[in-house]
Amino acid sequence: MTTDQPGPATWLAALAATLQGVELDVSAAGLEAHGHDESGQHHAWPEAVVYAQTEADIVAVLAFASRHRVPVTPYAVGSSLEGHVVPLHGGISLDVSRMTRILEIVPESGYAVVEPGVTYPELNRQARRHGLHFAVDPGAEASLGGMAATGASGTAAVRYGTMHDNVLTLRVALMNGEVIEVGSLARKSSAGYDLKNLFVGSEGTLGVFTRLAVRLHPLPSAVASVQVGFCSIQEATAASLLVLASGLHPERLELVDTESIRAVNRWRGTALPGGPTLWIELSGRDTADLEGGLKLARELLVESGGTLIGEARSEAERTELWAARHGAFYAIRAMYPGHHGRTTDLCVPIGRLAEAISGTLAILDRLKLDAPLLGHVGDGNFHVYLHADPSDAGRLAALDVASAEMVTLALSLGGTCSGEHGVGAGKRSYMRAQHGPALEVMRGVKTLFDPHGLLNPGKILPD
């Protein structure tokens, strides 16, 4: 990565001259807004924000950056959690949030073609009219371009997979001036190297997405959700494994711990019973099929020690039932106002989940940290929200220790430091331990696409 780019004074005027008609923002408010992400963990201002409206704008910015050796950090809505959009080395924040056209919805083939600034809730509003939905839901009003860049997933990955499974094609502007199209609109392809999946999860370090085609799935005919309380997290995870092995194929399978329930109750003014809680959503081809699935699910969950807390069938009821789970992250943050926070993102083979959670709780216990836990147990992925008063240096240091120990634990269980949030700036230090010599191969790939290290420098690869 190069960091010895010229000072902005030497290139800002040239940028303005090059990008005639493209909005350029150098106001303090604009730079500040592009200087952090939702996690608030990392802060750095760009020297300029460019609001791209078209692919040509993106190509022009990359050509300029290449010529003038200026770093470029793509930005859409800023909902990343590991500092992905923070321009750590300054330069240009390339904001694609105005590229919000849904170019095509093709119901008979089950896909949509969108610009990178389209958010997934907006796509779902449009897709629903065709009886379809886009299944990846990372929370926040995330953009599809950003979600593809981080390899995002969410609560429905247990059924529909992650962005790797749901992005069909990408148009990508490269630092060499080319725009390439990778992937296929067909459900599968064995024609050449899989560049699509190389770009999904590349966090804006290899190229900038100008357009993407994503899968749309038929909306299930009948859906119901069940909320079940358990006495221990171990019991809840064991119940999850039973559900997964049963052939029920849940739409979602989520876990929230006692501490998170407390946060939700405080935030929403509810009185949910405190204790580890599972949310399960099932679908069926019709009501009878759904009821059959629900019956089996209830049996399995009660056999596993669960207590039925709630059940929801209509969309309004389900939204209410899920509100606690979907709002948990915000509720948790609200419980610790002013605290520095960071979210872990361990993901382990599903059979090691109980160990990963026990080990995580042991680490928290030993370091005397309290940290709510929630996660996508159907994928073996869970988060704890580590937090500390910024004035408490000892506790802040303990967060680093906890974070590192948890990653070591996950790797020892065959897992990964990030199931869905990505590496960004926050998890770079774990890449060597996770990938070993494959890390040097990743560096080679980076250099192939971005020889001068100008695309989102300071992300994914450790120095």
Contact by Cβ (8 Å): 128, 139: no
For a copy of itself, the binding residues in 421-440 under the rule CB under 8 A are 421-423, 427, 430-431, 434-440
Answer for the pair 252, 156: CB distance below 8 angstroms, yes or no.
yes
- The yes or no reply on residue 460 touching a copy of itself (CB under 8 A) is yes
- Distance from C-alpha of 185 to C-alpha of 371, rounded to nearest angstrom: 43
Q: Among residues 64, 75, 111, 230, which is the contact residue for a copy of itself, using CB under 8 A?
A: 111
Tell me the window of 117-125, 243-251, 310-318, 398-406 that interacts with a copy of itself (CB under 8 A): 243-251
Enumerate residues 319-338 that contact a copy of itself by CB under 8 A.
none
Q: Is there binding between residue 463 and a copy of itself (CB under 8 A)?
A: no
User: Judged by CB under 8 A, which stretch of 40-48, 266-274, 312-320, 342-350 contacts a copy of itself?
Assistant: 342-350
**CA dist., res. 128 & res. 102, Å (int):** 14
Question: Dihedral, CA atoms, 84, 89, 92, 94, nearest 10 degrees?
Answer: -10
Q: For residue 346, what are the contacts with CB-CB under 8 A and spacing of at least 6?
A: 356, 360, 381, 382, 383, 406, 407, 409, 410, 415, 416, 417, 419
In whole angstroms, what is the distance from residue 302 CA to residue 239 CA?
Answer: 9
Q: Would you state the structure tokens that stand for residue 433, as one six-digit string?
A: 């331990």
Beta strands in 195-352 (DSSP E): 208-215, 217-218, 222-229, 252-256, 277-284, 307-312, 340-343
Q: Please report whether residue 146 would count as binding a copy of itself according to CB under 8 A.
A: no
Q: Is 153 in the site for a copy of itself (CB under 8 A)?
A: yes
- Per rule CB under 8 A, is residue 182 in the interface with a copy of itself? yes
State the binding string over 344-363 for a copy of itself (x if CB under 8 A, else -). -x-xxxxxx-----------
**φ and ψ at residue 208, rounded to 5 degrees:** -120, 130
Specify the stretch interacting with a copy of itself by CB under 8 A; choose among 7-15, 45-53, 146-154, 253-261. Answer: 146-154
Angle at 303 (CA atoms; ends 300, 307), nearest 5 degrees: 95
Mapped onto helix, strand or coil, the DSSP state of residue 310 is strand
C-beta closer to a copy of itself: residue 247 or 394 = 247
Return the number of the residue (30 or 293) whose C-beta is nearest a copy of itself: 293
List 188, 271, 338, 368, residue binding a copy of itself (CB under 8 A): 188
Among 16, 63, 102, 179, binds a copy of itself (CB under 8 A): 179
154 touches a copy of itself (CB under 8 A): no
Residue count, binding to a copy of itself (CB under 8 A) = 96
Fill in the per-residue mask, 248 to 287: x = in contact with a copy of itself (CB under 8 A), - = not in contact. Answer: xx---------------------------------xxxx-
CB 346 within 8 A of CB 411: no
Which amino acid, residue 4? Answer: D
Q: Is 157 in the site for a copy of itself (CB under 8 A)?
A: yes
Task: Answer yes or no whether residue 127 interacts with a copy of itself by CB under 8 A.
Answer: no
CB of 350 to a copy of itself, least distance (A): 5
Mark the segment that binds a copy of itself (CB under 8 A) among 13-21, 197-205, 267-275, 329-337. Answer: 197-205
The residue within the footprint of a copy of itself, chosen from 194, 311, 317, 320 (CB under 8 A), is 194
Q: Per rule CB under 8 A, is residue 288 in the interface with a copy of itself?
A: yes
Residues 386-415 that bind a copy of itself (CB under 8 A): 414-415
Q: Strands 381-388, 277-284: parallel, antiparallel or unpaired by DSSP?
A: unpaired
For residues 430 and 421, what is the distance between their CA atoms, to the nearest angstrom?
14
221 binds a copy of itself (CB under 8 A): yes
Q: Which of 4, 108, 315, 463 binds a copy of itself (CB under 8 A)?
A: 108
∠ CA(398), CA(399), CA(405), 5° rounding?
A: 90
Quote the CA–CA distance of 49 and 31 in Å, as a whole number.
Answer: 7
444 binds a copy of itself (CB under 8 A): yes
Q: How far is CA 143 from CA 26, 200, 219, 323, in A?
A: 23, 14, 21, 21
Which CB sits closer to a copy of itself, 192 or 269? 192
Q: Closest CB to a copy of itself among 109 and 314?
A: 109
Closest distance to a copy of itself from the beta carbon of 55 (Å): 14
Is the Cβ of residue 279 or residue 382 nearer to a copy of itself in the bound state? 382
Stretch that binds a copy of itself, among 67-75, 340-348, 366-374, 397-405 (CB under 8 A): 340-348
Which region among 119-127, 147-155, 269-277, 302-310 touches a copy of itself (by CB under 8 A)? Answer: 147-155
d(CA 366, CA 372): 16
Other Cβ atoms within 10 Å of 195 Cβ, number: 16
